[in-house]
Structure 1
Amino acid sequence: MFTQSLWNSFSGTTNFPQLTKDIQVDVAIVGGGITGISTAQLLAEAGFSVAVLEARKVGGGTTSHSTGNLYYNIDQVLSSLQSKYNNEIIRRVAGSRNSAVQLIEENVKKFQIDCDFKRVPSYLYSSNEENASKVDKEYETALEAGVKMEIASSEEIPFKMTRGVRVSGQAQFNSMRYVQGLANAIESESCKIYENTRVDEFEENDEGVTLSTTGGIVRAKYAVHATHTPKGVKVMFHTVLGPYREYGVAAKLSAGEYPEGIFWGYYGSGEKVSVRSYSRGEEKFIIAVGQPHKVGQAKDNSQHIEQLVTFLKDHFDIGEVTHRWGGQHYKPADKLPYIGPQSEGSRIYVATGFSTDGLTYGVLSGMIISDHIAGNENPYTEVYKASRFTPAKSAKEFLKENLNVATQFIKDLPFKGDEDELKFLKNGEGKIIEKDGHKVAASRSESGELNLHSAFCTHMYCVVHWNNAERTWDCPCHGSRFNQEGGVLEGPALEPLKKFNSSGEKS
Structure 2
Amino acid sequence: MITQHRDLRTGQPIWLARRAPRIETQLLVEDIRTDVAIIGAGISGALMAESLTEAGFSVCVFDRRKPVTGSTPASTALLQFEVDTPLHQLARKIGINDAERAWRRSKLAVDALRERTRRLQINCEMENRDSLYLAGDLLDKNGLEKELAARRRAGFETQLLGREELKTVFYINREAALMSFDNIEANPRKLAAGYLKTAIGRGAKVFAPADIVAVEPADRGVRAMTATGQTIRCKHLIFATGYEIPKQVPQKGHSIISTWAVATVPQKQTPWPQRCLIWEASDPYLYMRTTADGRIIVGGEDEEFEDEDKRDGKLPAKTKAILAKLKKLFPDVSAEADYAWTGSFGASETGLPSIGPVPGMNRCYAVLGYGGNGITFSMVAAQIIRGQITGTGDPDADVFAFK
Scaled to the shorter chain, the TM-score interval is 0.7 to 0.9
8 Å Cα contact 1:278/1:285 also seen in 2: yes
Return the alpha-carbon distance in structure 2 between the equivalents of residues 249 and 363 of structure 1. 26
Residue number in structure 1 paired with 2:29 = 20
The alpha-carbon deviation at position 330 of structure 1 amounts to 1.6
CA change 1:344–1:212 in 2 (3 A) is closer
The alpha-carbon deviation at position 188 of structure 1 amounts to 4.0
Residue number in structure 1 paired with 2:241 = 227
- Secondary structure at the aligned position of 2:236 is classed as strand
Counterpart among 349, 365, 371 of residue 365 in structure 2: 349
The alpha-carbon deviation at position 103 of structure 1 amounts to 2.4
In the TM superposition, 1:351-370 aligns within 5 A as: 351-370=367-386
- Looking at secondary structure, tell me which structure has more strand per residue: 1
- Deviations 1:443-470, CA, capped at 9 Å, x for gaps: xxxxxxxxxxxxxxxxxxxxxxxxxxxx
8 Å Cα contact 1:51/1:194 also seen in 2: yes
Return the alpha-carbon distance in structure 1 between the equivalents of residues 253 and 245 of structure 2. 15
How many pairs are equivalent? 381
In the alignment, is residue 108 of structure 1 matched against residue 117 of structure 2?
yes
Residue number in structure 1 paired with 2:16 = 8
Deviates more, 1:116-125 or 1:133-142: 133-142
- Looking at secondary structure, tell me which structure has more helix per residue: 2
Return the alpha-carbon distance in structure 2 between the equivalents of residues 85 and 232 of structure 1. 25
- AA at the equivalent of 1:227: T
CA change 1:55–1:31 in 2 (3 A) is same
Residue number in structure 2 paired with 1:425 = none
- AA at the equivalent of 2:300: G
Return the alpha-carbon distance in structure 1 between the equivalents of residues 120 and 91 of structure 2. 39
The alpha-carbon deviation at position 97 of structure 1 amounts to 1.4
8 Å Cα contact 1:11/1:176 also seen in 2: no
Counterpart among 341, 347, 371 of residue 331 in structure 1: 347
Q: Percent same amino acid at aligned positions?
A: 22
Unmatched 5+ stretches in structure 2: 1-9
Residue number in structure 2 paired with 1:415 = none
Cα root mean square deviation, aligned: 2.4
8 Å Cα contact 1:127/1:159 also seen in 2: no
In the alignment, is residue 63 of structure 1 matched against residue 72 of structure 2?
yes
- AA at the equivalent of 1:272: Y
Return the alpha-carbon distance in structure 2 between the equivalents of residues 51 and 194 of structure 1. 7
CA change 1:58–1:204 in 2 (3 A) is same
- AA at the equivalent of 1:245: S
8 Å Cα contact 1:88/1:145 also seen in 2: no
Which structure has the larger Rg over C-alpha atoms? 1
The alpha-carbon deviation at position 225 of structure 1 amounts to 0.5
CA change 1:136–1:287 in 2 (3 A) is same
Return the alpha-carbon distance in structure 2 between the equivalents of residues 156 and 213 of structure 1. 56
Return the alpha-carbon distance in structure 2 between the equivalents of residues 75 and 146 of structure 1. 18
8 Å Cα contact 1:91/1:147 also seen in 2: no
Return the alpha-carbon distance in structure 2 between the equivalents of residues 92 and 209 of structure 1. 32
CA change 1:129–1:340 in 2 (3 A) is closer
The alpha-carbon deviation at position 173 of structure 1 amounts to 0.7
Counterpart among 143, 146, 160 of residue 151 in structure 1: 160
- Secondary structure at the aligned position of 2:371 is classed as coil
- Secondary structure at the aligned position of 2:94 is classed as coil
The alpha-carbon deviation at position 8 of structure 1 amounts to 2.0
Return the alpha-carbon distance in structure 2 between the equivalents of residues 89 and 309 of structure 1. 38
- AA at the equivalent of 1:182: Y
The alpha-carbon deviation at position 65 of structure 1 amounts to 0.9
Return the alpha-carbon distance in structure 2 between the equivalents of residues 187 and 274 of structure 1. 34
- Secondary structure at the aligned position of 1:238 is classed as coil
The alpha-carbon deviation at position 257 of structure 1 amounts to 2.2
The alpha-carbon deviation at position 189 of structure 1 amounts to 6.2
Return the alpha-carbon distance in structure 1 between the equivalents of residues 53 and 139 of structure 2. 51
Counterpart among 358, 379, 387 of residue 395 in structure 2: 379
Counterpart among 244, 262, 271 of residue 277 in structure 2: 262
The alpha-carbon deviation at position 285 of structure 1 amounts to 0.7
The alpha-carbon deviation at position 33 of structure 1 amounts to 1.1
Deviates more, 1:7-16 or 1:66-75: 7-16
8 Å Cα contact 1:250/1:324 also seen in 2: yes
8 Å Cα contact 2:326/2:335 also seen in 1: no
The alpha-carbon deviation at position 245 of structure 1 amounts to 0.7
Return the alpha-carbon distance in structure 1 between the equivalents of residues 265 and 340 of structure 2. 13
The alpha-carbon deviation at position 383 of structure 1 amounts to 0.9
8 Å Cα contact 1:71/1:101 also seen in 2: yes
CA change 1:115–1:220 in 2 (3 A) is same
Return the alpha-carbon distance in structure 1 between the equivalents of residues 253 and 178 of structure 2. 31
The alpha-carbon deviation at position 349 of structure 1 amounts to 0.3
In the alignment, is residue 161 of structure 1 matched against residue 161 of structure 2?
no
Return the alpha-carbon distance in structure 2 between the equivalents of residues 120 and 156 of structure 1. 16
The alpha-carbon deviation at position 345 of structure 1 amounts to 6.9
Residue number in structure 2 paired with 1:504 = none
- Deviations 1:162-186, CA, capped at 9 Å, x for gaps: 1111111111111111111121122
Residue number in structure 2 paired with 1:93 = 102
